[in-house]
Structure 1
Amino acid sequence: MECTLGQIVSQRKLSKALLKHSNTVGKSTIMVTAEELTGNNDYVELSFSARKLDDKDFFSKSDPFLEIYRVNDDGTQQLVYRTETVMNNLNPVWKTFKTSLNCLCSGDHDRILKCSVWDWDSNGKHDFIGEFEATFKEMRGAIDGKQVQWECINPKYKIKKKNYRNSGIVILNQCKIIKMHSFLDYIMGGCQIQFTVAIDFTASNGDPRNSCSLHYIHPYQPNEYLKALVAVGEICQDYDSDKMFPAFGFGARIPPDFKVSHDFAVNFNEDNPECTGIQGVVEAYQNCLPKIQLYGPTNIAPIIQKVAQAASEELHIRQAMQYFILLILTDGVITDMADTRDAIVHASHLPMSIIIVGVGNADFTDMQILDGDDGILCSPRGEPVLRDIVQFVPFRNFKHASPAALAKSVLAEVPNQVVDYYNSKGIKPKCPSEFESSRTFSR
C-alpha cells in the first residue's frame, strides 16, 4: 500500500488495503502505527548547593563554582553548564538553571556526567576543590522535596591522605522536568490544519489568454500558480480531515456586476467557498479565469482579515483543535502595506500562519519585510507581532527544483509556529489516548 508520512502521524494508526497481488487485493490490510520518540525536546531545571567545601584561600573562604560536563560516546567531554561564583562561602547555594535534556545527556539518562567544583581566582588559575560523577537517572531522584547528594572528591588527596573522606558534599535540591511539546504532539492529539488559498488576479499578471501571462493555462504544462498551489497543498491536505479547502481570489472584477473584489470565492459560491481537495481548487481556479476581469490594486489585508475572523470564531468553539494556514499566491508588490501589517499583527494572536509565495519576477522587497526574519514586524501604530507567523518564498528560486523542495521551504516554519502559538497560550496537546481519530484518507 502507499501513503504519506503526514497521513500516518495525523491518524496515529493508519490501516489501508493492499494494492497489489491478485490473491489479497481487498482482503488484506497493512496497519502502520506512529509514535514520536521523545526525550530530547524536554528541558530540565536543576538547583545545586554544597556544604563544607575545602577552603582554598588563606585570608578568606573559597569562592566556589560548579561545572557540569557531558561525556560523549568517544570519551570526550563537553561543557554543559558553569554556575556563577559564590564569593567567600564554603556552603554555596547556586542559582537554579535550565538546560535541555539533549544538551545535558543527549537524551540518554544513563550517560556519565562529570561534575567538578572550583575555587575561583581573579587571575584565571582556579583551584580545584573536587569532582564527582553522576547520571541524569540519579538526578531524577531530587523530586517532591527530596535531595540527591554526592561526595566531592579530590583524587590527589584521596591517595596522599589516609583519613581523607571528601572535599565537601554537593547537593541537588531540585530536578524538575519541563515538557516541551512538539508539532506531532498536537497533530497526534487531534489538532486539524485548516488550509485556505488566496490567488492574485490583478492585471499585472497579464491577460490569461496570452501565453506570456502568469495565469495562462497551458494544455500540457501547469503555470507557476498551479505549481505552487499543488506543491504546498498536497502536503497540507494530509493534516486536514475533510479535505475541503476554501479558495479565494483578490484584485479582480467579478460577475455579475463586475465590481472589484479582494476576497471573492473562486467557485463564486460566497456561502460555501470550499473546494473538494486540491484538485477541486485547481478546477475552480481554471473555471474562474474566463469569467473574471483581472484588475487591481493588490490588496491582501481583506483576505488575511477574513481568515483571521474564521480562526477567531473557531477558537471559541474548539480550542486547540484548529490551526489555520493561509497560502497567498501573488505576483507583485502589495498596495495596502499599512493595513496588511495591521492585519498580520492581529492574526499573530490567533492560531494562524500566513505563507506568501511570490510568483513571477517582480520586486518582492515588501514581502521580505512582512516575513519578519530581518526584524520584528510592527503595525502602523507601533504594535509588534506577538509571534512570527509569515513565511515568504519567491517561486523563481524553485523553478527548476522539485515540488518537494518548494514545499519544504514554504512549510519550514509552520511546525514551530503551531507549537509557539499553543505554548504562548499554555494549551497542552491532548494525549493520544484521549483522542480517538475517526479520520480516513483515500487516494
Structure 2
Amino acid sequence: MVSRLCLLLTVPLPSPPPLGHTEGFPWTSVPGSGRGDRRPGQPCRATPHDIATMQLCANKLDKKDFFGKSDPFLVFYRSNEDGTFTICHKTEVVKNTLNPVWQPFSIPVRALCNGDYDRTVKIDVYDWDRDGSHDFIGEFTTSYRELSKAQNQFTVYEVLNPRKKCKKKKYVNSGTVTLLSFSVDSEFTFVDYIKGGTQLNFTVAIDFTASNGNPLQPTSLHYMSPYQLSAYAMALKAVGEIIQDYDSDKLFPAYGFGAKLPPEGRISHQFPLNNNDEDPNCAGIEGVLESYFQSLRTVQLYGPTYFAPVINQVARAAAKISDGSQYYVLLIITDGVISDMTQTKEAIVSASSLPMSIIIVGVGPAMFEAMEELDGDDVRVSSRGRYAERDIVQFVPFRDYVDRSGNQVLSMARLAKDVLAEIPEQLLSYMRTRDIQPRPPPPANSSPTPAPEQP
C-alpha cells in the first residue's frame, strides 16, 4: 500500500510544487508532530526528520503601495550546488504595514539546508500585489547554523535592495528583519501515523450545475464519451485510486450538488450519487464512478453552486473523532463558478480546527480566482475577522495536468501527485497542534480499526 503511493509521488514530473510548501518530498518523508523540543543551548544537529520552527518580524520596510504602506511577505530559498536557488517556503502576507509580524511556521531542516548547516539560505522580502506582480523590497542571507543561534538571542538582518544601493549614495537599507525565535523538534512522519492505524476517510462532491454544459453534448465537461473519460471522471479516478489504499473499508460517501432531482424537481446541494439518503457510501472508486454516471442520466444540471453544505457535512463527521484515529479528506470537483463564497469561507475557517482536508480540482477553462482565494497560499482564508487555524485547502486546475499527447494515464499521475502532495503536512499539522502522537503499529494478527463516522 505505502510503496504504491510512494512510487507515484517520487516520480520526477515537470510541474513545480505550490509556493509555501516543502518541495520534492514523498509522503514517507514529510515530517510532522514533534517528539520533543530541544532545550535552549543544545546544539542544533539535524536528523532526517527534524523540523525547524521559527518566527520573524520586520521593522521600517520600504513603502511600496501608492495608497497604503506595503503588504509584506518572505520567500525562503535554499542554495544548490550549481549556484542556483530553490524556493522552500513562503510566509503569509501581512496587509498594510511596514512593521509586520509573521506567524510562526515550521519547515523540514533538510528542505532548508539539505544537511549542510553552513549552506546559504537566501530570504527575499516582497510587497504582495493582487495581480501577482509582487514588488521586490530587498533580501538578506543566512544559514541554518546562524538561524539556530536565535535559540538564545534575537538575530537582526538588514534588508538590502542591490539596485537601490547602487543608485543612492546615502542608501542604508530597506528595513530590517528580526528572527524572534527558532527551535528544532524531532518529528513523526505521515507514515508513522498510517502504520499506527490512522485512517483516511475519503468523501467526494461533484458539481452538477448547468454551467458545466449539457452532458449529452461533446462540449460539456460532463460529456460521457464512449472513447475517453471526462475531466470530472479522470480527476475522480486519479485521486481516488490512490487515496482508497488508505481507507480500510473502501466505502466512500459520494455527493452531487447544484442539480434538480426527480421526480418533483427539488434543487439539492448535497444529494447522494447512489440515490440512497440513508447510506451514501459507494463501493470503491469504481462504485463512485458508476453512481456518478447514473446520476448524470437522471438529474437535471441546474444551480446555483454551493460548496458550504457538503463542507459542513464532512466537518460534522470529523468533529466527532478528534483522537487522531481518523482523518477526513473531501474532494470537490467543480468548474469553478461559486455562488456562496462567504458561507464557504466560514465553513473552511470552522473546519480548519478539525482532522480534515479539502481538495478542490477545477475543470474547464475558467480563471478560478475564487478557488485560488480559497486555497489560501497567498492570504490565509478568513471569515468575520476569524482566520483559518490551519491551511486545509489545496486547489489545482485540471488543465495544467493534461498531457499534450492525450495520454490520460500520465495526466492522472501528474494530477494525483500534486493534489495529494499537501495532505501529509495538513494531517501532521493537525496532529502537531493537538499534540497527538502516532500509536505503535498493531501486531499483524490484531483486529482492524473500527469503522469511522460517515459524513
TM interval, short-chain normalised: 0.5 to 0.7
Amino acid at match of 1:421: Y
CA distance in structure 2 between the aligned counterparts of 1:337 and 1:203, rounded to whole angstroms = 18
Amino acid at match of 1:395: F
2:425 is equivalent to residue 416 of structure 1: yes
Post-superposition offset of 1:393: 0.3
2:328 is equivalent to residue 324 of structure 1: yes
1:307-357 per-residue CA deviation (whole Å, 9 max, x = no partner) reads: 101111233xxx211100000000122110000000000000100000000
Counterpart in the other structure of 1:47 = 41
CA distance in structure 2 between the aligned counterparts of 1:197 and 1:217, rounded to whole angstroms = 19
Post-superposition offset of 1:439: 5.8
SS at match of 2:282: strand
**TM-score normalised by the chain length of structure 1:** 0.61
Amino acid at match of 1:337: M
Q: Quickly say closer, same or farther: Cα 1:431–1:342, change in 2 above 3 A.
A: same
2:354 is equivalent to residue 350 of structure 1: yes
Q: Quickly say closer, same or farther: Cα 1:432–1:6, change in 2 above 3 A.
A: farther
CA distance in structure 2 between the aligned counterparts of 1:277 and 1:302, rounded to whole angstroms = 23
The question of whether the paired residues in 1 share the 8 Å contact of 2:197 and 2:439 is answered with yes
Q: Quickly say closer, same or farther: Cα 1:367–1:435, change in 2 above 3 A.
A: farther
Post-superposition offset of 1:365: 0.2
Structure 1 or 2, whichever has the larger Rg, is 1
Q: Quickly say closer, same or farther: Cα 1:383–1:179, change in 2 above 3 A.
A: same
Amino acid at match of 1:332: G
Could you tell me which of 317, 329, 339 is aligned with 1:310?
Answer: 317
Amino acid at match of 1:244: L
State the structure with bigger RCO (CA 8 A, min sep 6), 1 or 2.
2
Post-superposition offset of 1:177: 8.3
**TM-score normalised by the chain length of structure 2:** 0.59
1:10-25 correspondence to structure 2 within 5 Å: none
Q: Percent identity?
A: 51
2:385 is equivalent to residue 382 of structure 1: yes
CA distance in structure 1 between the aligned counterparts of 2:272 and 2:2, rounded to whole angstroms = 30
Return 5+ residue gaps in structure 2 as ranges.
Answer: 8-27, 44-80, 82-105, 118-182, 404-409, 450-455
Post-superposition offset of 1:290: 1.2
Post-superposition offset of 1:44: 3.8
Could you list the structure 1 runs, at least 4 aligned residues long, displaced by more than 2 angstroms after superposition: 6-9, 35-39, 41-46, 98-108, 176-179, 433-440
CA distance in structure 2 between the aligned counterparts of 1:230 and 1:338, rounded to whole angstroms = 30
Q: Quickly say closer, same or farther: Cα 1:4–1:424, change in 2 above 3 A.
A: closer
Q: How many correspondences in the alignment?
A: 297
Return 5+ residue gaps in structure 1 as ranges.
Answer: 10-34, 50-73, 75-97, 112-175
1:32-82 per-residue CA deviation (whole Å, 9 max, x = no partner) reads: xxx98999x976444269xxxxxxxxxxxxxxxxxxxxxxxx9xxxxxxxx
CA distance in structure 2 between the aligned counterparts of 1:105 and 1:390, rounded to whole angstroms = 27
CA distance in structure 2 between the aligned counterparts of 1:208 and 1:283, rounded to whole angstroms = 15
1:85-133 per-residue CA deviation (whole Å, 9 max, x = no partner) reads: xxxxxxxxxxxxx99875999789xx9xxxxxxxxxxxxxxxxxxxxxx
Q: Quickly say closer, same or farther: Cα 1:433–1:394, change in 2 above 3 A.
A: same
Could you tell me which of 248, 252, 259 is aligned with 1:252?
Answer: 259
Q: Quickly say closer, same or farther: Cα 1:436–1:366, change in 2 above 3 A.
A: farther
Q: RMSD across aligned C-alpha pairs, in angstroms?
A: 3.4
Could you tell me which of 362, 368, 372 is aligned with 1:368?
Answer: 372
CA distance in structure 1 between the aligned counterparts of 2:431 and 2:107, rounded to whole angstroms = 21
1:199-238 correspondence to structure 2 within 5 Å: 199-238=206-245
Could you tell me which of 273, 285, 297 is aligned with 2:280?
Answer: 273
Amino acid at match of 2:418: S
SS at match of 1:226: helix
Counterpart in the other structure of 1:5 = 3
Amino acid at match of 2:419: V
Q: Quickly say closer, same or farther: Cα 1:8–1:209, change in 2 above 3 A.
A: closer
Post-superposition offset of 1:376: 1.1
CA distance in structure 1 between the aligned counterparts of 2:321 and 2:442, rounded to whole angstroms = 24
Could you tell me which of 392, 396, 404 is aligned with 2:395?
Answer: 392
CA distance in structure 2 between the aligned counterparts of 1:99 and 1:390, rounded to whole angstroms = 19
